[in-house]
Amino acid sequence: MKLKALLRRQPTLTSSVVNEERILSRYRLIMGIIGFLYPLWRFTIYFLISGQTESWSERGFIGVLFLVATLATYAHPYFRKNIATVFDIVAGVWTLQVFLLIWRSELDSDFLQVGLITIFCVGSTFLDRASMLKYYLLCLVLTGYTVYIFPDEQSTTFFFGVLIALTVSYVSFLTLLTVFTDLRQSQETLAKRTKEFEELSAAVQTLFLPNATYIKERGFELAGYYRPATACGGDWWSFFVVHDESVSVFVGDVTGHGPGSAMMTASVASYLKAIRNTSTTKRDVPDLLNELNHYLLDLQRSLESNERYLMTMSAIELNLKTKRVEMWSAGAPFPYFLKSEGTVTVMGNPGHPLGLDDSMKLGYDSLEVDTGDRLFLYTDGIAEMKIGEDRQLGERRLAKLIQNTRTLKPQEACASIEKELDRQKHGTAQDDDFTYVILDIT
């Protein structure tokens, strides 16, 4: 078999298999260790064993070269980018120096035995198959040349021993490399399938979010905002309007985020929508929440996994005739109530999340509202958003934020809040879903 064909069929270990930073760190570590320990070893041998003839430059030259190469990778990006090539060159120089010293010494010296073992071990640290093969071929050529210079049984035996050792080392390297490559390909395939599932889940979820994020009718004006932390999330919101009578708003959050939470949210949202669309009479909000609780419990009982999904939810109903708001809480953050003159208060009482048990407990509150008042419903991903190493936005800062947008229309306020949230998290990744709804009484 031709060598070129062999190389073409074998995988290459590059940054596609091992992270670039890990490659850089490993090469730096190897060169630093060799640069320090090799000269230390040679100087120790020189003083402990009589008859050593190495010069100062021969003992310390390669160590200095390795250390200089290591420092160069910190000083200039060119050397960092090409650190494998730098290592190839320095290791090649070292190999040539070792064999030069061997030819000037005796074949049975400790320098021959330990020196060759050392550089062969260094060869196994290569992270690039082609570089490793070239290095091993260089070692074989130089070892074979010692046989040419000293054609006796000892040198011949040593040459074949080196040949066997390098062959076993190279085959072992390729086997390990194949395992790494197969593992990486499996990870990439899994990541691709996960991404496709997340995109599908996100597409399904959008079908159950309101078609319109803004609505204005007689007696109220409403705007909503939703942004998942990943491709799909566990948050959801919806509203139902009974013309000239009432408007109901639901804001829910399934524990966690990702495909599982997204599909549970979509299922619950579709069930609520089906109840409302098929019911011949107006259903009370507590009855709807109770049915959602049982539905979520039934879903979890049918799952093969033991994973538990709970859903927190805030639900309010504005009676457009009496100007009265009723609020039910199932473990969700309490809504903010903003009076027309600008004061901010929290409404609500604690309740249990949906999907916890059959005996669901809802928190309840109610209040009278006037024209110009505003309600702000949201999920906990906003208040728990990180704004520093050990700080969260918190309910107090959130209250101040929405108070600053009080004079804006609901749509404008949603956009302003989004912009301020992004500013306060200082470019860090969003780690939970963002959902909020603004309801103005007009």
- Please compute Rg for the chain using Cα positions: 35
Three-class secondary structure of residue 217 per DSSP: strand
Three-class secondary structure of residue 10 per DSSP: coil
Please tell me the predicted confidence (pLDDT) of residue 200: 61
Residue 357 in domain: yes
Whichever domain contains 419, its CATH number is: 3.60.40.10
Among candidate residues 83, 75, 81, 70, the one with its CA nearest the CA of residue 32: 70
Q: Which of 142, 160, 189 is the last residue of a domain?
A: 189
Alpha-carbon span 140 to 120, nearest angstrom? 10
Please tell me the predicted confidence (pLDDT) of residue 116: 58
Residue 248 in domain: yes
Sign of the CA dihedral 58, 59, 62, 65?
A: negative
Please tell me the predicted confidence (pLDDT) of residue 207: 64
**Does one domain contain both 130 and 269?**
no
Residue 73 in domain: yes
Residue 199 in domain: no
**Does one domain contain both 303 and 366?**
yes
Please tell me the predicted confidence (pLDDT) of residue 331: 92
**Does one domain contain both 40 and 126?**
yes
Please tell me the predicted confidence (pLDDT) of residue 247: 94
Ramachandran class of 200: left when φ > 0, alpha when ψ lies in -120 to 50, beta otherwise:
alpha
Residue 282 in domain: yes
Domain that holds residue 370: 207-441
**Does one domain contain both 272 and 170?**
no
Alpha-carbon span 279 to 276, nearest angstrom? 5
**Does one domain contain both 267 and 142?**
no
Question: Which residues contact residue 216 at a Cβ distance below 8 angstroms, ignoring those fewer than 6 apart?
Answer: 222, 442
**Does one domain contain both 178 and 216?**
no
Q: 210: burial class by Cβ within 10 Å (0-12, 13-18, 19+)?
A: middle
Q: Are 354 and 292 in contact (CB under 8 A)?
A: yes
| CB atoms closer than 10 angstroms to residue 243 | 10
pTM over 0.75: no
**Does one domain contain both 303 and 434?**
yes
**Residue 376 has what DSSP assignment?**
E
**E strand or H helix at 242, and its extent?**
strand 235-242
Q: Are 225 and 414 in contact (CB under 8 A)?
A: yes
**Does one domain contain both 263 and 289?**
yes
Q: How many domains does the chain have?
A: 2
What is the β-pairing status of strands 324-330 and 246-254?
Answer: unpaired
Please tell me the predicted confidence (pLDDT) of residue 113: 54
**Does one domain contain both 223 and 338?**
yes
Residue 304 in domain: yes
Please tell me the predicted confidence (pLDDT) of residue 436: 96
Tokens of 383: 């208040």
Residue 195 in domain: no
**E strand or H helix at 183, and its extent?**
helix 153-206
Q: 257: burial class by Cβ within 10 Å (0-12, 13-18, 19+)?
A: buried
pLDDT per residue, tens digit, the chain (442 aa), is: 343 443 333 334 444 444 567 777 877 887 888 788 878 877 776 777 666 666 666 667 778 888 888 898 888 888 888 887 787 788 778 777 766 766 665 545 555 555 555 555 565 555 566 767 777 787 788 778 777 777 877 778 777 877 877 777 777 667 766 776 777 777 777 777 767 666 665 566 666 678 888 999 999 999 999 988 876 677 889 999 988 899 999 999 988 666 777 778 888 888 888 887 777 677 789 999 999 999 988 888 877 666 778 899 999 999 999 999 999 999 999 999 999 888 899 998 999 999 888 888 999 999 999 999 999 999 999 999 988 777 889 999 999 999 999 999 999 999 999 999 999 888 788 888 899 999 999 9
**Does one domain contain both 320 and 402?**
yes
Q: Which of 154, 189, 224 is the last residue of a domain?
A: 189
**Does one domain contain both 142 and 27?**
yes
Q: Which of 138, 158, 189 is the last residue of a domain?
A: 189
Please tell me the predicted confidence (pLDDT) of residue 105: 59
**Does one domain contain both 45 and 8?**
yes
Tokens of 232: 């799909």
Residue 200 in domain: no
Alpha-carbon span 280 to 270, nearest angstrom? 18
